């Protein structure tokens, strides 16, 4: 488990799947959290995927649920872990009723402490809708900077939108991680 200021990040358990399934089937949440076309997924499909990954874990993914006051409010993780280049991508999804409350920013900062500390990575990247001011602002506050922009890259809400590529590099002194 990883402790932030306001959130707790812990491994995803089978009992968490119903709450994650409800969040993943919120079209707005899913489309902002993924670059794939939003498609409904059944709870049975999600459970089957979980069981497959539990039996044969991916070595390039670390995924957590975001917990606030004993309630799962989202998920986040690092994927495309590349030990050769010491880099990865960050992903996060939070229930819509928890947007704008600082939980995502705390989860991202906690993930960064994990990435730059125990995982010994040097760079964490992400992609975000360029016109999503709330998300871009949160990433900027967490220390990310823009690396580039993909013009008219993704279809969202009836139009092609730019996608902003952002990254953060490990500070010279790796941050200390609080575990709990």
What's 129's domain CATH number?
3.40.630.30
| 91 within a domain of the structure (yes/no) | yes
| 48 within a domain of the structure (yes/no) | yes
| 174 within a domain of the structure (yes/no) | no
Euclidean distance between CA atoms 168 and 27, whole angstroms: 28
Domain that includes residue 15, residue range: 2-169
Instruction: Kindly give the pairing relationship between strand 87-94 and strand 123-129.
Output: parallel
| 178 within a domain of the structure (yes/no) | no
| 72 within a domain of the structure (yes/no) | yes
On whether the CB atoms of residues 93 and 29 are closer than 8 A, the answer is yes
Nearest CA to 147 among 125, 174, 179, 175? 125
| 175 within a domain of the structure (yes/no) | no
Note the pLDDT tens digit of each residue in 51-63: 888 888 777 889 9
| 141 within a domain of the structure (yes/no) | yes
pLDDT confidence tier of residue 49, bands split at 50, 70 and 90:
confident
The overall average pLDDT reported for the chain is: 88
Its pTM stands at 0.86
Query: Of 104-113, 115-124, 152-161, where does mean pLDDT reach its minimum?
Result: 152-161
pLDDT confidence tier of residue 71, bands split at 50, 70 and 90:
very high
Q: Can you give the pLDDT at residue 174?
A: 54
Q: Can you give the pLDDT at residue 55?
A: 82
On whether the CB atoms of residues 146 and 109 are closer than 8 A, the answer is no
Q: Can you give the pLDDT at residue 148?
A: 95
Helix or strand or coil: residue 151? strand
Query: Of 37-41, 59-63, 162-166, where does mean pLDDT reach its minimum?
Result: 37-41
How many structural domains comprise the chain?
Answer: 1
Q: Which residue has the higher pLDDT, 104 or 25?
A: 104
Q: Can you give the pLDDT at residue 3?
A: 92
Euclidean distance between CA atoms 146 and 7, whole angstroms: 26
Nearest CA to 4 among 142, 143, 164, 151? 142
Q: Which residue has the higher pLDDT, 26 or 7?
A: 7
User: 94 pairs with which residues across the strands?
Assistant: 74
| 31 within a domain of the structure (yes/no) | yes
Instruction: Flag whether pLDDT at 86 surpasses 60.
Output: yes
pLDDT confidence tier of residue 180, bands split at 50, 70 and 90:
low
Non-local CB neighbours of 170 within 8 Å, separated by 6+ positions: 115, 116, 121, 122, 123
């Amino acid at each position: 488990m990883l402790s932030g200021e306001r959130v707790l990040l812990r491994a995803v358990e089978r009992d968490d799947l119903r709450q994650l399934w409800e969040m993943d089937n919120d079209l707005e949440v899913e489309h902002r959290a993924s670059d794939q076309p939003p498609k409904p997924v059944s709870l049975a499909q999600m459970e089957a995927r979980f069981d497959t990954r539990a039996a044969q874990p991916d070595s390039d993914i670390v995924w957590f649920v975001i917990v606030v006051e004993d309630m799962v409010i989202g998920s986040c993780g690092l994927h495309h872990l590349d030990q050769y280049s010491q880099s990865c991508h960050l992903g996060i999804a939070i229930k819509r009723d928890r947007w704008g409350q600082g939980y995502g920013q705390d989860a991202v900062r906690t993930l960064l402490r994990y990435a730059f500390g125990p995982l010994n990575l040097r760079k964490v990247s992400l992609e975000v809708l360029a016109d999503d001011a709330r998300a871009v602002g949160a990433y900027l506050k967490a220390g990310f900077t823009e690396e580039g922009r993909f013009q008219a890259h993704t279809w969202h809400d009836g139009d092609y939108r730019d996608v902003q590529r952002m990254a953060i590099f490990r500070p010279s002194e790796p941050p200390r991680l609080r575990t709990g």
